Amino acid sequence: MDVQTTHRTAKQPFLTRFKKEAVFHIMIWMGVAFVGVFNYLPMSGLIIAFKKYSFREGIWGSPWVGLANFRTLFSDFFMGNAVLNTVGIALLSIAISYPATIIFTLLLNELANVKFKRVIQTISYLPHFISWAIMAVIMNIMLSPNDGILNLLLRRAGFIDSPVAFLAREDLYWITVVLSSLWKNLGWNTIVYLAVISGIDEALYEAAKIDGATRIQRMRYITLPSLTGIICIMLILSGGGITNTGFETSYFLSNTLNYSRSNTLSYYVYQIGLQRANFSYSTTISFLLSCISATMMLGANKLVNKINGRGLF
């Protein structure tokens, strides 16, 4: 009976099926229209990467310069510096943040006291809702070489003899922003992993307990393997977002003393485009970065597909 009903439904005219599914069509096409208007339509502005754009002449009236902007890009010292900083901060963030987030998630999941677990979750989530503008003020206070709490603790513990200006030293900038980003987003990033853990069959844990498995063994052989899929997905998405790394931290924490390590690609595009009003060159950089992001995401997906046997797409 179900097969016959399905067969009759498939044979129904398009308008009949459209009337039955009108609400779903409206919702879908609203989403498609939104993406088209705000994502694809503005891409026509990429043409100014091949022009010398001016406000007076507009996009279509500005003169063509061919690949001149691209030649400038590959000879720009600050562009190379921005690439180095962006990739360095992104890789350091992946190397520190991912293991820390996974370990924190596993430990949080093992807490038996529900009230204490909720308190820890709340405390770890709160920094995510603080804007980087406020976070920058907090960091400047905490890392102050005069009376910052971190300098006071390090001096009392005997690790340093004189105050350290963390935000004024090039060699400390990367690790400073990576650890501050970890502090800000650690609790929020655990939400996805905890959601996956909540879907693990409890029978697996019960069977492991009966077999004499300890908590560490259950984490290692049940919980962690169950997180493999979502870890791979998050890594793939991170690969595509590497070129956007570090704008907020650079915008609020960059200064003349640490600029050689705080100059990231997204921040450099902001400087060229909005501060110097060189829209043609900033569009050229953005266009190239978009191509690199897409390539890195596809490459990361292919690598994960080979290692794990299943990619994102």
Topology of domain 64-308 in CATH is: MetI-like fold (1.10.3720)
More confident residue, 278 or 241: 278
Segment 125-178, tens digit of pLDDT = 899 999 999 999 999 999 988 888 999 998 888 888 888 888 888 889 999 999
| Of 270, 297, 292, residue with least CA distance to 283 | 270
**How much is the pLDDT for 1?**
46
Q: What is the mean pLDDT of residues 254-277?
A: 90
pLDDT band at 303 (very low <50, low <70, confident <90, very high): confident
Segment 66-89, tens digit of pLDDT = 889 889 888 888 888 998 999 899
For the chain, the domains span: 64-308
**How much is the pLDDT for 157?**
87
DSSP 218-253: HIIIIIHHHTHHHHHHHHHHHHHTGGGTTHHHHHHH
pLDDT band at 11 (very low <50, low <70, confident <90, very high): low
CB 293 within 8 A of CB 274: no
Residue 61, CA distances (Å) to 7, 51, 64, 110, 141 in order? 57, 9, 9, 64, 50
pLDDT band at 60 (very low <50, low <70, confident <90, very high): confident
